[in-house]
Structure 1
Amino acid sequence: MTEYSVIDDFPAFEEACRTLAAGTGPVAVDVERASGFRYSQRAYLVQVFRRDAGVFLFDPPALGDFSPLRAAIGDVEWVFHAASQDLPSLRELGLEPATLFDTELAARLLGHERVGLAAVVEDTISVTLKKEHSAADWSTRPLPAAWLEYAALDVLHLVDVRDRIAAELEEQDKVDFAAQEFAATLAQPPRPPREDPWRRLSGLHQVKGARNLAVARSLWEAREEYAQQQDTSPGRLVPDRSLVAAVLANPQSKQALAGVQAFNGRASRTELDRWWAAIVRGRESQTLPRERVPSDALPPARAWSDRNPEADARLKLARPVVEEIAEGLNMPTENLLKPESLRRIAWTPPALTVDAVSEALSALGARPWQIEQTAQKILDAFVEAAQSPDPAIAAES
């Protein structure tokens, strides 16, 4: 086993950055977080590899300022596997590539059956990676040697994989497809804060009534505040099911809450005052949540024939057409066009012109290459549906 060490002092960090700056070609970059253990999604390890430089493992909490790394590699292509997972954590460190290459996304466009990192590495360069530490608590210090080797291997072979994947893109005439997808990944804005995030509590559907929902909201907020203070994943303090169980039990005293067997978790009793105070706040709240939240979600497709038969006909004619295009391009249908985008324009169709369909797809986030491949065929399907006197007949044709 190769011995790797974590760089956690600034002079060594600056020296490593000088070595990386003198390397050649793209840089492979990966991030390890502590999802499920810590509250934040911050990076606890940043791995970087460049030819003629080597592998370097950096400790973000210890180093803090990553501007030397940004200066060293900021203007070259960064190679990721599933870039969208790592970019938010890197941006917190002030790190952002000018251009990127995503081996996972490219593998999808190429029609690879397996697109996990280990599978893609094995399929392209015949190297076997072990993935036993992927769900580890990377905030652990010191990091075990086996974990460090695992982290290093995540980037050590990635540039070689990138070169093989790039050659496949050339062979399948998908270089421009990939370039547009990579640019879209890089330009993707951060997700806006979710409205009423407490409604994502698992099991909340069991809670009935606005007042009880207010209690659930208050418990969620109290857990969120404490989790942030402790930098601990909320579910590790008190699981969702336990918060919901506390609401459903409707305890009338702190002691009664302590007696709710299903209200468990490592902080359920040590912070009992906190949870009881949250229940009281929820019961006394003057601002009750809505029991039903308006949604712009479309009805399930199985209900379309009754709710909107014309849309049903459009979807049933267009969907197999898009699937056929994807099969011809040797890629998953969802990488050719998001199924939700097709459902949206089938439910509320634009004018029946190729320009209008193209504009509608673009507004839903489709890239130019996707529009070029699908817009005319979708239009043809919609026109066929419109010309049928009976949408059900059109749907079956």
Structure 2
Amino acid sequence: MNSVLNPEAPEFYPHLTSVTQVRDPARHKGGYSKVKKTIISSNNMPLGVAYDVFKTFNDFNIVTYQLSENVIEQTNQILINELPAVKLKYYDNEYNTEKITDANDSFLDKVNINIDTMNGVQNSNDMFHLNSTKATPWNDAPIITKIQMGSTVFIAAKNIPRPQLNFKDTIDNSENLWVPKISDKPNNIKPLALNILYNEDGEAVGYEHPYRVELDLYHPPSYMIEPDPEPPTFPYALDETKFTFVATEAALDALVEHLTGVLELAVDVEHHSYRTYQGITCLIQISTNEGGDFIIDTLAIREHIHKLNLVFTDPKKLKVFHGAENDVLWLQRDFGVYIVGLFDTHQAAKALNMPGLSLKHLLFKYCNFNTDKTYQLADWRIRPLPAVLVEYARTDTHYLLYVWRMMKHELLDVAAGQPHLLLSVFEESRQICAATYNKEVIHETSHIPLYIRSKKSFNTQQMAALKMLYKWRDSQAREQDESTTYLIPNHMLLALAEQLPREVQGVNACCEPMPPFIKQNLLTLHRMILSCRQLPIEPQLYQMPTSIRSMLDVSHQTLPAYDVHDLSQFPELGEQQHVKLQHAMLYLNKPSNLHVEVPAFVPGHLLGERPAIVSDLNVNAKLFIPPYDRYRKYRCLVQMEEIKEFKEKEAKVAAISKGNELIKKEVLVKLQQAQSQIKQEEIDIKQDSLVGVSHENDESDADKKIAQRKRKISAEKVEEKEAPKVVEEIKKDVIIKTTKKDETDLKPYEYKNANYKKFYDDVNNPKQNKTNVKKYKKK
């Protein structure tokens, strides 16, 4: 290779320059210039409508076909040397594109393997090992890459060995209960005992907090809640402060000995969760006023970090964190370290109602220091740590003790010297320390939150695919100790479940760029998706929610209070605070010259009775209902009516088969009644003739009656013979009418015809006539 391109190997491939750079018309070489001309010529080809017009000319088609054949032949000659199994086809662009993509991936994989081998990452006896060059110490360092996206900088390294492979403790990613790692309990009131907690069904849900008793009895010492006699001293700059990197057990012991002699320390944790399932704590930063800044390499001395319990569980020492909810759990999970005596500056910022709650805002407010948060998504597994990451980690705790002193003074000042506001922050911090770590468990509905956040609408096939892929991804992540988002990102998972591609190429289109895990399990993914495609699309049977069903029977319930102010973002209030809030609401709703009372929006418990609303749309309304809530209720009613009509149609169809028998029974009953009535009349007439009371005229009348009766009997006999025909005609008529009625009933339901009055009590609120409405309009 040319020495200008690679000074380390001037004799490697010496004729490469002649092939690529030499421009000799006689020898027809100069690869770069030919590639450039080819690209320019390709860009000059017609596109879109122009290409369709050119295709109408035979000469153009002949030239393009010939060029296509030449390109395929030359490409096959290139690929046959490295990939003999790959062979392109003529006039099959989709197949050729797929094969070229696979060939490029294969070439790039070999290049990456060669680079890793030269850097010493690959083992010498690896099956893909292509070079026998021995790795030297200078190439052991990771290849660091920086990517700037807006105000955030991603720092990652290519050849970082997985640190969990060197851990002495085994990582359990199963769904079994997480067992606390604590083996010694310093500063205890109650000796160490790991008690299992059970739920109402008798199932084990976790272990009791080892320091529960100590936390229940904790009260901050007097010096923490009393005003400081002197203002705090502003810390020195980073370059003027002592810094210690702790990466050995001896250095950790020296740090613990130093911490036993201080009363206050600032702590922060750096975490990595992208290349592991549960996450890894990579750094612990500690700052003290006496000793400066410390950074503990928890990946190097993971099995010795539990020694910090001697200081972290001492209730006489103050541990200052910012946003300690996750830090507390990570320390428990990885090291069995617990905290007693915490002050969270994030909770203090909430108590002071600050506009910004982040550490960056606090540092700028109290220290006038604008910290650089561009590296907050860095890969903290990189060793040795770059200087920019060391500085970033130090700033998280360097000024934190000064911030704690300033916030303490402000909390006392706001409360007029009383410590109740400061004690409330200590109480919130104590609740954070009382939390216990538990492993994530996958349930049958674990995929629902992801589906809700996506704001998509899936049918039964798509939901089945999402559920199957979600559970399979989680099981694979546990087995390989990788994060689920590294294996298959959430947006790709949703795309696969939504599209349900029939072909493998469709899976490739949904996963671009394709992660390595999907590439390795492409056929498995495709089979799972096809199995979900074979499922029937079941209709969704709508069931009215319990909240709406309860509102249908308003007469048996008491309407809830309608509060205008949204207080959901505030914590739950006690009884005394709730009473104060009611008084405040009464004051806010007090009528004045600038405030007009609208009965629809006044809480019912403040008016002393339910607000009576008269509306042009619904004169029987008792309470104002927002339009969207009304729509939801009407929709459920309409759906119930549709289901009811559908069931009635099914009953009608089932009754058609029984119609023949019902008609026959009815006809036979009528014939029997008619025959019995005629016989009875004949008997009566004969009895009259035997008495002899009647005259000759009467006898002639009797004979006439008998003849009429005989004619009627003969006619009814004919009707009896023709009864089966009548039955068949009636059956046909019923079927035709039923089918016609069903066809008319299948029209879509119009929401405007919904009965709005079903949500209100018609008994307690009588209907008003039109005159009342007109009077109200005039007012």
3-state DSSP class of the match of 1:260? helix
Alignment of 1:58-77 (within 5 A): 58-65=296-303, 66-75=305-314, 76-77=317-318
Task: Assess, with a 3 A threshold, how the Cα gap between structure 1 residues 175 and 144 changes in structure 2: closer, same or farther.
Answer: same
Which structure has the higher relative contact order (CA within 8 Å, separation 6+)?
Answer: 1
- Asked whether the equivalents of residues 32 and 45 of structure 1 are also in contact (C-alpha less than 8 Å), the reply is yes
2:289 and 2:612 mapped to 1: Cα distance?
60
Give the TM-score of the pair, scaled to structure 1.
Answer: 0.72
Q: Secondary structure at the match of 1:201?
A: helix
Determine whether 1:114 maps to 2:364: no
Give the whole-Å Cα distance in 2 for the aligned partners of 1:62 and 1:261.
Answer: 40
Whole-Å Cα distance in 2 between the matches of residues 181 and 121 of structure 1?
A: 22
- Is 2:254 the counterpart of 1:15? yes
CA positional deviation for 1:293: 12
How far apart, CA to CA, are the structure 2 residues paired with 1:29 and 1:277? Answer: 49
Report the more deviating stretch, 198-207 or 52-61: 198-207
Equivalence for 1:159: 401
374 and 185 in structure 1: CA distance in 2 versus 1, 3 angstrom threshold: farther
Change (3 A) 1:74 1:199: same
CA contact (8 A) 2:266 2:288 kept: yes
Equivalent in 274, 280, 286 of residue 48 of structure 1:
286
1:27, 1:48 within 8 Å by CA — same for their partners in 2?
yes
Structure 2 equivalent of residue 184 of structure 1: 431
Whether the 8 Å CA contact 1:7–1:57 is kept in 2: the answer is: yes
User: Among 376, 387, 394, which residue is 1:134 paired with?
Assistant: 376
- Asked if 1:246 corresponds to 2:450, the answer is no
Correspondence 1:88 to 2:322: no
Partner of 2:165: none
Q: Residue deviations 1:303-348, cap 9 Å, x none?
A: xxxxx9943x4322xx37x7xxxxxxxxxx94xx33xxxxxxxxxx
Contact in 2 for aligned 1:243/1:263 (Cα 8 Å): no
- Which residue identity is paired with 1:16? L
* Alpha-carbon spacing, 1:82–1:204, altered in 2? closer, same or farther (3 Å): closer
Pair 1:120–1:210, CA change in 2 (3 A): same
What does residue 341 of structure 1 align with?
none
Q: Is the 8 A contact 1:29 1:47 kept in 2?
A: yes
Given residue 17 of structure 1, which amino acid in structure 2 is its aligned partner?
V
CA distance in 2: counterparts of 1:103 and 1:251, whole angstroms: 50
Equivalent residue for 2:563, pick from 315, 324, 329: 315
2:605 is paired with a residue of what secondary structure?
helix
- Looking at structure 1, the residues matched to 492 and 498 of structure 2 have their Cα atoms a distance apart, in angstroms, of 10
Partner SS state of residue 151, structure 1 = helix
Larger gyration radius, structure 1 or structure 2: 2
Are 1:214 and 2:487 an aligned pair?
A: no
Could you tell me the TM-score, scaled by structure 2's length?
0.39
Alignment of 1:100 onto 2:347? no
Query: Cα deviations across residues 38-57 of structure 1 (Å, max 9, x unaligned)?
Result: 43333111111223232221
Q: What SS does the aligned partner of 2:355 have? A: coil
> Partners of 1:85 and 1:290 in 2: how far apart?
43
The whole-number CA distance in structure 2 between the counterparts of 1:193 and 1:232 is 16
Letter in structure 2 aligned against 1:172:
V
Report how far residue 163 of structure 1 moved.
0.8
Match of 1:275 among 502, 513, 525: 525
Q: Deviation at 1:82?
A: 0.9
CA contact (8 A) 1:87 1:96 kept: yes
1:224 paired with 2:428, answer no
Equivalent position SS for 1:62: coil
Q: Aligned in 2, Cα 1:147/1:298: closer, same or farther, shift over 3 Å?
A: farther
User: Structure 1: 5+ residue runs without aligned partners?
Assistant: 300-307, 323-332, 339-360
CA distance in 2 between counterparts of 1:12 and 1:232 reads 32
Alpha-carbon distance in structure 1 between the residues aligned to 2:576 and 2:533: 56
Per the alignment, residue 373 of structure 1 pairs with 577
Verify the 8 A CA contact 2:312 2:337 in the aligned structure 1. no
Paired residues for 1:268-307 under 5 Å? 268-279=518-529
Q: Is the 8 A contact 2:332 2:437 kept in 1?
A: no
Are 1:214 and 1:283, in contact at CA under 8 Å, matched by a contact in 2? Answer: no
Corresponding residue for residue 388 of structure 1: 609
Call closer, same or farther: CA 1:260–1:104 in 2, change over 3 Å: same
Asked if the contact 1:213–1:291 (Cα under 8 Å) also holds between the matched residues in 2, the reply is: no
- AA matched with 1:271: N
> Match of 2:293, SS?
strand
Q: Distance in 2 between matches of 1:188 and 1:261?
A: 40
Q: In structure 1, how many angstroms separate the alpha carbons of the residues matched to 2:244 and 2:460?
A: 54
Q: Would you say the 8 A contact 1:34–1:139 is kept in 2? A: yes
Given that residues 466 and 493 in structure 2 are in contact (C-alpha distance below 8 angstroms), is that contact kept between their aligned partners in structure 1? yes
Deviation at 1:190, TM superposition (A): 5.1
Pick closer, same or farther for the CA change 1:67–1:314 going to 2, 3 Å.
same
Runs of 5+ unmatched residues, structure 2: 1-237, 416-420, 549-556, 587-602, 614-621, 625-779
Residue type at the aligned position of 2:258: T
For residues 266 and 456 of structure 2, the distance between their equivalents in structure 1, rounded to whole angstroms, comes to 46
Q: CA deviation at 1:147?
A: 0.6
User: Which segment drifts farther, 193-202 or 163-172?
Assistant: 193-202
Q: Which moved more, 1:1-10 or 1:112-121?
A: 1-10
Deviation at 1:119, TM superposition (A): 1.2
Secondary structure at 1:111 match in 2: coil
Residue 221 of structure 1 aligns with an amino acid whose one-letter code is K
Residue 229 of structure 1 deviates from its aligned partner by 4.1
Contact 2:500 2:530 in 1 (8 A): no
Report the number of matched residues.
339
In 2 relative to 1, CA 205–289 (structure 1 residues): closer, same or farther, beyond 3 Å?
A: farther
Contact 1:34 1:138 in 2 (8 A): yes
RMSD: 3.9
Distance 1:58 1:12 in 2: 9
Deviation of 1:99 after TM superposition, in Å, equals: 1.7
CA distance in 1, matches of 2:254, 2:386: 24
- Secondary structure of the equivalent of 1:218? helix
Identity among equivalent positions (%) equals: 20
CA contact (8 A) 2:313 2:341 kept: no
Alignment of 1:198 onto 2:447? yes
1:375 deviation in Å? 3.9
SS at match of 2:269: strand
Once residues 270 and 289 of structure 1 are traced to their aligned partners in structure 2, the CA distance between those partners, rounded to angstroms, is 33
